[in-house]
Amino acid sequence: MVIEPRRLDKSVPIPLYFQLKELILSEIKNGNYSIGSMIPTENELINLYQISRTTVRQAITELVQEGWLYRVKSKGTFVSKPKIDQSFIQALGSFNDQITALGRTPHTELLDFKVIEAPDNVAKELKLQPKEKAVYIHRRRFADDEPIVMVKTYLPYHRCSFVLEHDFSQESLYPVLATKDETHIHKIRRYIEALEAEEYDMKNLNINSGTAIQRFISIGYNFIDEPIEYSIARYRGDRNRFEVTITATNSSK
């Protein structure tokens, strides 16, 4: 299948690369290019629209960077799976609820679940004494059988030992913590940064070297502002994007 040969309008002040980008994107969104299908080659697009190679490459590069397309060396450019829109960054909610709301099927693989001596950085964030115990939960989480995120979670053992009775391959953490007032998460502070995938990510998330990872460090607090949860989540950059809504507030001049 080739893109419908609509003309690019060279008389308007909209860059040609952006017009081409929007045209390809509309074909993807309309289902004319299915996931995994190859789009026309650079030469085909150049000849079809009588535009420069630089224009074509800029349009394709932006679509690749935004996750709509991916390149395979010596083969061509293909349509990616759509990214998962995550709104948890601005709301309290479970991964399972987020993925289910998007019409996909979540599941969790429990890789480790035990009581450990809290590492120094974790003890500091959870306000624990040196050598104090923590519950450690290591999970790989999926959407439609595709690994999406790796999560390492630490909880203060003296408050959260009861979670050891639960199966976090089947249950979500926050509803379990919410069964007790003192461990119910009322507020979360998150730090976000983009990183290049490490061997850990490549092995567990089925991604290649150089792929972007979005790392979230989350600290959850109870109703009296005591830290209850410290989590490090590493999300696939090629399969996730995160929504933030900012509302203006009135301020006096």
Say if residue 90's pLDDT is above 80: no
What is residue 243's DSSP assignment?
A: -
pLDDT given for residue 1 in this prediction: 47
User: Which spans in 10-141 are helix H?
Assistant: 16-29, 42-49, 53-65, 95-101, 120-126
Q: Give the H/E segment covering residue 200.
A: helix 199-205
Domains, the chain, with CATH or none: 16-79 (1.10.10.10), 84-242 (3.40.1410.10)
Query: How far is C-alpha 207 from the geometric centre of its chain's CA atoms?
Result: 13
Residue 83: pLDDT band (50, 70, 90) is: low
Give pLDDT tens digits for 16-45: 999 999 999 888 888 888 888 999 999 999
pTM: 0.66
Say if residue 180's pLDDT is above 60: yes
Give pLDDT tens digits for 48-63: 889 999 999 999 998 8
Q: Is 193 helix (H, G, I), strand (E, B) or coil?
A: strand
Could you give the CA distance from residue 107 to residue 98 in angstroms, rounded to a whole number? Answer: 12
Could you give the CA distance from residue 66 to residue 196 in angstroms, rounded to a whole number? Answer: 16
Could you give the CA distance from residue 61 to residue 195 in angstroms, rounded to a whole number? Answer: 20
102 versus 65: the higher-pLDDT residue is 65
Residue 28 tokens, joined? 């993807």
> Tokens 């979360």 — which residue?
188
Residue 123 tokens, joined? 């003890």
Could you give the CA distance from residue 107 to residue 147 in angstroms, rounded to a whole number? Answer: 9
